[in-house]
Structures are given as C-alpha cells and as structure tokens.
Amino acid sequence: MATHYIPKNLKGETRILIIFSVKSLITTAIGAAIGGILLLIFGAIGLRFLGIILLVLLALIGYGIGTVKIPKITGWNFTKNIEGDSIDEIIVRYAKFKTNRKVYSYTKEEE
C-alpha cells in the first residue's frame, strides 16, 4: 500500500523559533516596543526594574493577542459568533465596527 503526502493549509502559520508564528512575532514585537518606551521612561526616573517588568508583561500580552484563539464557552452566548477567531481579528473587527457609525434599522411592514 502506497503512502501519499497530504499538504497542510498553513495560511500564514509558518513557525519562527518554534513558538512564534509570523503574526505572533509581530504582535510580540509591538508589545515589546511599547514596553521598551516605558522602560526608557521608568529608567530615567530610577524605576528600571518596574520598566523591565512592564516590558516583559507587554511582550507576553502581545504574544497572547497574536496566538490565542477564542474557544466556545457554552455558558456565554456571544462566544458562538467568535468561536475559533484569534484575538487580533476580533480587535480589528471591533475597531472597524466603531469607526462605522451607521445604524441600520429594519421595519416589518404589516398588511
């Protein structure tokens, strides 16, 4: 019996340094950059240790935003609509929703 290679649909999920996908590496870098700015600010006023803690914390938050997908939680109804989506996609959709301030209403005409 012959074996056949079945290609996987990676769709942007190529791994870098084993744990980082391209998306998670970018969001981690953004979080670390914001933390680096805070490190410089807190280092200038003598709180360098607090700046390092914030840098690590913001880098971890950035990694989580790029990696974590929302599971379906049966107790919460809103997770039906966002099940399987990553957090960064949800943030982008929310930002687009907030910038589009149109309100649509539907009326049912009765005869």
Render pLDDT for 30-77 as a digit per residue (tens, 0 to 9): 889 999 898 998 888 888 888 889 999 998 888 888 887 877 777 777
Model pTM above 0.75? no
Which pair of structure tokens corresponds to residue 108?
């049912």
- Where in the sequence is the domain holding 45, given as residue range(s)? 13-68
How far, in Å, CA of 65 to CA of 71, rounded? 14
Q: At what angle do helices 22-44 and 48-67 cross, to 10 degrees?
A: 160
Q: Say how many residues make up the chain.
A: 111
Least confident of 8-12, 15-19, 71-75: 8-12
Q: Are residues 58 and 89 in the same domain?
A: no
Residue 7 in any domain: the answer is: no
**87 and 44 housed in the same domain:** no
Does a structural domain hold residue 40? Answer: yes
Rounded Cα distance, 4 and 105, in Å: 53
Whether residue 29 is found in the same domain as residue 56: yes
Report the percent of the chain where pLDDT is more than 90: 2
